[in-house]
Amino acid sequence: MSTLVAVYGTLKRGLSNNHYLQAATYLGSDTLHTISLYDLGPYPGAKAEPSSGVEVEVFSVTAQQLQALDVLEEYEPEAPARGLYDRRLFNTRHGAAWVYLYNPPVPGLVPILAGGWQPLG
């Protein structure tokens, strides 16, 4: 059985962590108006906040692939609020997909309310 994930940062195609999704099935892109991104330097973090539309890529993953993503994102299933990221289902045009949400506060950081995050360099 597969699960959907919507990614917005280094897991996107062509970026540094996309190798985690190499064996996953790419379903397409979408724009979510229910998340905002914050540039954390080497990667972004998403918050469940309204936006003008954040670009995501949606993949179908196996349970094993989802578990590998959980490790990468420091998601703690037994105590999600303690991990670096939590994950929550959001509706995409491809179906309900997990989105990793950044847990720590982001005071002083300017949100990316439209488009997507781009790595420096």
Q: Tokens 């379903």 belong to which residue?
A: 27
Report residue 38: phi and psi, to 5°: -130, 130
What are the pLDDT tens digits along the chain (121 aa)? 679 999 999 999 999 999 999 999 999 999 999 999 999 989 999 999 999 999 999 999 999 999 999 999 999 999 999 999 999 999 999 999 999 999 999 999 989 989 999 887 6
Of the candidates 73, 74, 76, 78, the residue annotated as catalytic is: 73
Q: Is residue 73 annotated as a catalytic residue, yes or no? A: yes
Question: Residue 50 burial (CB < 10 Å; 0-12/13-18/19+)?
Answer: exposed
Q: What's the pTM value of the predicted model, to 2 decimals? A: 0.95
What is the set of domains in the chain, with CATH numbers? Answer: 3-115 (3.10.490.10)
Cα separation, 22 vs 106, in Å, equals 31
Task: Check residue 1 and give its pLDDT.
Answer: 63
* Burial class (CB within 10 angstroms; exposed 0-12, middle 13-18, buried 19+) of 61: buried
- Closest listed residue to residue 20, CA positions, set 42, 5, 39: 5
